[in-house]
Amino acid sequence: MAGYTGQPDDQYSPYGQQPYPNTPDQGYAYPPPGPDPEPAPQPPALPPLPWRQLLTGIVTRPQDTFMRMRDYQMWAPALIVTFLYGMLAVLGLEDARDTVLDSTASTVAPYLIGTGVAMVLGALVLSTVTHNLARQFGGNGIWAPTAGLAMLIMCITDIPRLALALFLGGGAPLVQIVGWATWLGAGALFTLMVSASHEISRPRALGASVVQLLALLMLIKLGTI
Sign of the dihedral defined by the CA atoms of residues 128, 130, 136, 139, in that order: negative
CA–centroid distance for 43 within its chain: 21
Predicted pLDDT of residue 225: 44
- For the beta carbon of residue 182, count every other beta carbon within 10 angstroms: 19
Predicted pLDDT of residue 35: 62
Predicted pLDDT of residue 30: 52
Model confidence at 169, in pLDDT bands (50, 70, 90)? confident
Predicted pLDDT of residue 112: 83
Q: Which amino acid is at 177?
A: I
Q: In angstroms, rounded to a whole number, what is the distance separating the alpha carbons of residues 117 and 225?
A: 23
Predicted pLDDT of residue 220: 79
Q: In angstroms, rounded to a whole number, what is the distance separating the alpha carbons of residues 162 and 131?
A: 26
- Determine what percent of the chain is predicted with pLDDT higher than 70: 72
The answer, yes or no, to whether residue 4 has pLDDT greater than 90, is no
| 127, 155 contact by CB (below 8 A) | no
| 200, 137 contact by CB (below 8 A) | yes
Q: What share of the chain is helix, strand, coil (3-state, %, to 5)?
A: 70, 0, 30
Q: Residue 216's closest CA among 156, 173, 168?
A: 156
Q: In angstroms, rounded to a whole number, what is the distance separating the alpha carbons of residues 131 and 128?
A: 5
Q: Is the pTM of this model over 0.85?
A: no
Predicted pLDDT of residue 153: 96
Predicted pLDDT of residue 34: 57
**Residues ≥6 apart with Cβ < 8 Å to 8:** 14
The 3-state secondary structure of 44-108 reads CCCCCCCHHHHHHHHHHCHHHHHHHHCCCCCHHHHHHHHHHHHHHHHHHCHHHHHHHHCCCHHHH
Phi, then psi, of 12 in degrees rounded to 5: -135, 145
Q: Which amino acid is at 171?
A: G
